[in-house]
Structure formats: C-alpha cells, structure tokens
Structure 1
Amino acid sequence: MYTLITGLYKQWTQKEEFYVIILGLDNAGKTTLLERIKSIYLGVAGLPPEKIAPTVGLNIGKVEINNTRLNFWDLGGQRELHSIWEKYYSECHAIVFVVDATDKERIEEVKETFETVITNDTVEGVPVLMLANKQDVPSALKVHEIKEIFNPIALRLGARDSKVLPVSALKGDGVQEAVDWLFVRLQRNRTNRPPIFRN
C-alpha cells in the first residue's frame, strides 16, 4: 500500500520540464531578455541593464507556467563560444534566436550563424522563435524587413513551428507574447521532443 501511495504522490507532484536555448550574436540582448522573462514570470526585479555583462558560458533562468517548468539557457554569443552551442542541441526542446535589429552591419553574420544552427541535424523538428530585439530604437529593422532578409534560410526550417516576433527586451514589449507562443509550441511538439519529468 505504501508503495502505491508514494508512487501516486510522485506522479501527482512531478513537473514537466522543457529546455529552451537562447542563441544569437553577442550584444543581441539575450541576457536582457532572460532577465525580463524572469521579472515577468517570477515577479522579481531582474538585473538592471547596466549591470548585465557579456555572457561567458551560460546563464540559467527557470519559470513556471501552468505547472510546467521552462528552463532557459542563455548561451554566450561571442564567435569563439559558438562551438559550445552544439553541446546543448540534443537536450533542448526549442530555440530562441535573438537578433539585434539595430545592428545592420552584422546582419550577414547573423544570417550565417542562424543557418548553421537550424541546419544542424540534432535540432531537426525543434520549434524556432526568432526575436527581432531592440524594437524600442526607432532605427531598428522591423519584422517584415527581418523576414525578408531571412526568408531564403527559413525555407530550410521545413514543417517545424517557427515565427519571427518583435520585442524590446529592455522595455519588456512583446516578451510575454513570445513566451506564450513558445509554451504552446513546446506542448504541441511533445511527441517529437517529450518533456522531462522531475519532482
């Protein structure tokens, strides 16, 4: 009887967990995005923007939505750190790719990096959310301009769920909508990439 009760208790208290990697070039606003997500979903003040240093390695954020835990892994965007990204592909359930919409000089480098990520066999079928960040800056590329630039690569995404959304990680505009989109896709893709269950 004890075994049955503890087994049921474990089953009832287990949480579904999904892992989301946040990628993009350095200075795209990945850590600012993560801090904003934490402040929205945990109700805590994130790090102020002036205290956010370039990520060397990994920042982690965990939030809960409808009794499901989303683990965000914000990976450093410097070119020399890109080789580390692949180590996280097999465990991730979704990719958030952050584009600095104000950095027009590096948009070709962003394209190449994005293409390298999405054409890796390990992430086949994983939902991809591209965020056109820094929309609070008047000179930022708008979503339709970003889509135009990335459309030739987008064809390689195949049938998987993908979307481009405008955000301002600094101000928080569009961040909740982005996470909501992601949450629905993680649930929808659970047969392809099942969640992990933890107590």
Structure 2
Amino acid sequence: MYTLLSGLYKQYTQKEEYYVIILGLDNAGKTTLLEKIKSIYMGVAGLPPEKIAPTVGLNIGKVDMPNNSRVNFWDLGGQRELHSIWEKYYTECHAIVFVVDSTDSERIEEVKDTFDRVISNDIIEGVPVLMLANKQDHAEALKVHDIKELFNPIAVKLGARDSKVLPVSALAGDGVREAIDWLCTRLERNKTNRPPVFRNR
C-alpha cells in the first residue's frame, strides 16, 4: 500500500526531467534550433536570427513537453577548440541531437570525423541519437538520403540503439516538431537504461 501511495505522490508532485545535448560544428544551426524548439513548445518568441551569436560554452533551454515531462536542452559550442568539453556532459545526458549543416559540403569530412568521435564514446552507449540535416530550405542542401549514405559506414557503430536522420530547417521550423516528438518518445522508451531525474513541480 505504501508503495502505491508513494508512487501516486511522486506522480502528482514531481516532474520527470531529461537532459539532451545538442552537438555539431559551428554554424550548423544549433542555437537557431534551440530557439525554434522553445518557440514551438513554449509559445515564446525566440531570438531573431540576426541576434544569434556563435555559442561559446553553453546555452540552456528548459522546455515543458505535452506529456508533462521537462526536457533540458544543452546547446554546446561547436568550435573545434570547444569539442573537448562535450564529454563532460555525456554522463548526465539522456539523448544526443547532432546537427549537420546540409549546405556545408566542404566540411562534411570534418562533420563525419566529429560524429564518429561522439558515438564511439563508451559513456553514451545506448543513448538515443537524432541527426538533423539542417538548412533544408536551401536549394543547394544535401538531401537526407545523401547524408545517410555518407554516414552509413559510421552509423553501424550505433548498434541497436534508437537513432534517426531527419530533415529540418531550424530557421523556418520545418520538421522541428516531428523531430522533437520522435526524440521525446525515445527518451520515454529508454527510461530503464537512463532513468529521468525527478524534480518537484
């Protein structure tokens, strides 16, 4: 009886919280994505694109989801010299969003090497990975099937964990809701592997 009452008390007084890190090279559109997520799910106007500066360190967005959970997004700086700090966030994260600038074909090999280093880290074994092919509103953008083909040799390292490649335009908002809805479903499914943190409402 106590267990039942304790469970009910926790359900009504505490909120499940998840931590998601947003990674990718500089100028991939990570902060623009975070601002669009806040706009879609919280109804707040995000920063206008011209006011978004390169992230040095960390941007945080706390977003309450329709399923009554809270997702804390950590948007980490993408400059090469900042990649070494990414690993500090792996232990606490429940999922990874990796943003690719689909228009930057000149740096695609660097993107592949960076993604390979991220998913090869044992600390994040079993964590869902969502790759977003951003800037799909540009005519010269690589399409999702092209990006999948380029990353397939690395993707085998993902094993049986939940992973997906989806097209988005963080600026226009196209595909963002679908991507985050997919992510939230995977966070729920992966509770046994990485349980949420409980906070008082």
Give the TM-score category using the shorter length: over 0.9
Write the distance in 1 (CA, Å) between the matches of 2:11 and 2:105: 50
The SS at the match of 1:169 is coil
Equivalent runs, 1:96-115 vs 2, <5 Å: 96-115=97-116
Does 2:63 correspond to 1:63? yes
Does 2:168 correspond to 1:167? yes
* Deviation by residue 1:47-100 (Cα, 9 ceiling, x = unmatched): 000000000000000111111000000000000000000000000000000000
Matched to 1:56, the amino acid is V
Aligned position for 1:16: 16
Cα distance change, pair 10–161 in 1 and its aligned pair in 2 (3 A): closer
Does 2:87 correspond to 1:86? yes
Does 2:187 correspond to 1:186? yes
> TM-score, normalised to structure 2's length?
0.94
Cα distance change, pair 76–68 in 1 and its aligned pair in 2 (3 A): same
**% identity of equivalent residues:** 83
The root-mean-square deviation of aligned C-alpha atoms, in Å, is: 1.4
* Deviation by residue 1:125-162 (Cα, 9 ceiling, x = unmatched): 00000000000000000000000000000001000000
* Deviation by residue 1:7-54 (Cα, 9 ceiling, x = unmatched): 965552100000000000000000000000000001010000000000
Mean Cα displacement is larger for which, 133-142 or 61-70? 61-70
Matched to 1:43, the amino acid is G
Report how many residues are paired: 195
The SS at the match of 1:181 is helix
Cα distance change, pair 33–160 in 1 and its aligned pair in 2 (3 A): same
Mean Cα displacement is larger for which, 5-14 or 180-189? 5-14
Aligned position for 1:127: 128
Unaligned residue ranges in structure 2 (runs of 5+): none
Aligned position for 1:40: 40
The SS at the match of 1:18 is strand
Write the distance in 2 (CA, Å) between the matches of 1:8 and 1:156: 40
- Structure 1 stretches (4+) deviating beyond 6 angstroms? 5-8
> TM-score, normalised to structure 1's length?
0.95
